[in-house]
Chains A and B, each alone.
Chain A
């Protein structure tokens, strides 16, 4: 990947950062309801992996911390913000919310709220790919705490057994809500746990875009070549609490400062500046343009969009006019 491409990625990552920060404000302003799980600190994971894959062609599925994965899959940020604002123009027509973004057109197969729920769904999507005979892969992003669910083991077993084209990416941010990983998990290095299923795996620094991209390129090539599943663990950190209702009082300030010093946006920025491909002024202009874009286009679109029609509350429960319900067409 050349530095012009990396500059584009830096802009996308900074956009994702500012988008999430603006979500925080919108939540405080009560324009966003429910639960809200933000991604700042973890950007290099989604961008590093998906830059190595083919978003929009490959299928992506993840948890409730899903805004940035949807954006990188190709979803229009305006439609994501509209979803968070519970509008009819939202990606899920205002029925899903922050935790349930879906964008089938871009093969973003959803955000799910049950920890570990997407593990078998991803294996199933991979089974579907296998049956259709395409060269797509399914990429499943989940946090470290999901690995303590039974679905982790059940899905890895089946994915290995049936050689399914699925890449499991573990965004290890060291905490399952408020419980530190070594207090909940007997084996702290998550990539080691998949050895039980003969699945190749790797652990990488999740704050450094270049390192993630390199590790993911290998992982994606493995899965796409038909060799079966792969597990990539990325060591990362979230700069905010688990969700907006999290006081975030359980982490040591020294630990937080250490990880703040390893900000994935800043690491990539400084590397490009060092290489002479970016100036600090350029970066600041980029940031200003992003903030304006978010305000003038994204927030405005979400604010001005209409709410769903109350009369449609029962729409989408079941298929509409399915002929087989009455025994088919004869």
Chain B
């Protein structure tokens, strides 16, 4: 197993899928000659040329729609939207066309596009470059939503997403492109559904996804070391559909749940996981589930304010201590 960075894992997935199938293309702003703002497509332009590695104009709704239209004919576009904030501009095509065309055509057409975009907050990027939009995508029928927390997942989820016949939104993270991790040397396809137990524990389940998995792991280590609490950490890499069985199994074991999300709490992953817990295993609970979320504010520019608006590993520790009264 080789160590590679998150962005390198994404390049490798592109490269293998483009080599495997001449109908796989990638497109987006600055992805070709420049190689991508986060280097996630670097080297591909020289290898596959400008008809398959397409530098698009800054027209998010237009080029996303173009990719969707091409996918009707069997093209497999991997569309990069440079920042998830810009994906708002492409919502018409993603929601009104990609997500609905199979259904409203009675199964005749499909839109097997992959839309990759970094969500999350980085450092002082201000309100319009700090959106966390996974909650928006996961609320729409007809779309799959996955979000990699490691280079291994970034590689394997993209590989499966390209081959899958559904439209898949991959929610990446601006702060994670330089994260290092082990990726299998052999070709690897990560499931697009399910969840992963990344730390086993018996006392409480910490649900995270993408960057918040890492806050959960830090908090679990702290809770074990200083408070004797063994937390189980579940990585919800699939946000739509969510893994009801995985959620039920873990909560039935630990009887306590904390959901950790970088986004605002309203209508979010935490709210949805809580609803699933209620529906699946309410009587297994020994305490009310808790969510650790951002504040319900646009993200401020000032760094101290920005930090105050966002959750972190300490907030997770505090939430768990609150449940146990320690």
The yes or no answer to B51 lying at the interface (CB within 8 A) is yes
Judge whether A327 and B190 touch: CB under 8 Å: yes
The yes or no answer to A188 lying at the interface (CB within 8 A) is no
- Select one of B59, B69, B110 contacting A121, CB under 8 A: B69
The yes or no answer to B322 lying at the interface (CB within 8 A) is no
Chain B residues whose C-beta falls within 8 Å of the C-beta of A103 in the assembled complex: 108
Known A-B contacts A158-B59, A328-B160; the reply to A121 vs B106 at CB < 8 A is no
A327→B161 CA distance, assembly (Å) = 9
Chain B residue with Cβ nearest A120: B65
Chain B residues whose C-beta falls within 8 Å of the C-beta of A322 in the assembled complex: 164-166
Judge whether A104 and B165 touch: CB under 8 Å: no
Known A-B contacts A128-B74, A154-B61; the reply to A327 vs B191 at CB < 8 A is yes
Judge whether A155 and B62 touch: CB under 8 Å: yes
Judge whether A127 and B72 touch: CB under 8 Å: no
A271→B190 CA distance, assembly (Å) = 65
Judge whether B160 and A92 touch: CB under 8 Å: no
Query: Which one of A106-114, A178-186, A215-223, A297-305 is at the B interface?
Result: A106-114
The yes or no answer to A93 lying at the interface (CB within 8 A) is yes
Judge whether A151 and B62 touch: CB under 8 Å: yes
Q: Count how many chain B residues have C-beta atoms less than 8 Å from C-beta atoms of the other chain.
A: 53
Judge whether B193 and A317 touch: CB under 8 Å: no
Judge whether B56 and A127 touch: CB under 8 Å: no
Judge whether A316 and B144 touch: CB under 8 Å: no
A324→B69 CA distance, assembly (Å) = 22
Chain B residue with Cβ nearest A112: B97
Judge whether A114 and B23 touch: CB under 8 Å: no
Which B residues from 130 to 151 make CB contacts under 8 A with A?
141-142, 144
The yes or no answer to A200 lying at the interface (CB within 8 A) is no
Judge whether B72 and A324 touch: CB under 8 Å: no
The yes or no answer to B276 lying at the interface (CB within 8 A) is no
Chain A residues whose C-beta falls within 8 Å of the C-beta of B41 in the assembled complex: none
User: What is the minimal beta-carbon distance from A78 to any residue of chain B, in angstroms?
Assistant: 16
A285→B138 CA distance, assembly (Å) = 57
A91→B63 CA distance, assembly (Å) = 28
Chain B residues whose C-beta falls within 8 Å of the C-beta of A317 in the assembled complex: 102-103, 141-142
The yes or no answer to A252 lying at the interface (CB within 8 A) is no
Closest 8 CB pairs of A and B: A124-B69, A154-B62, A120-B65, A128-B73, A93-B106, A121-B69, A102-B105, A154-B59
A-B contact pairs, 8 of them (CB 8 A): A90-B106, A110-B101, A114-B92, A120-B69, A132-B73, A151-B62, A319-B165, A327-B192
Using A124-B67, A151-B62, A328-B189 as known contacts, list a sample of 4 further A-B pairs with CB atoms less than 8 Å apart, ordered by residue number in A.
Answer: A90-B106, A154-B63, A158-B59, A319-B110
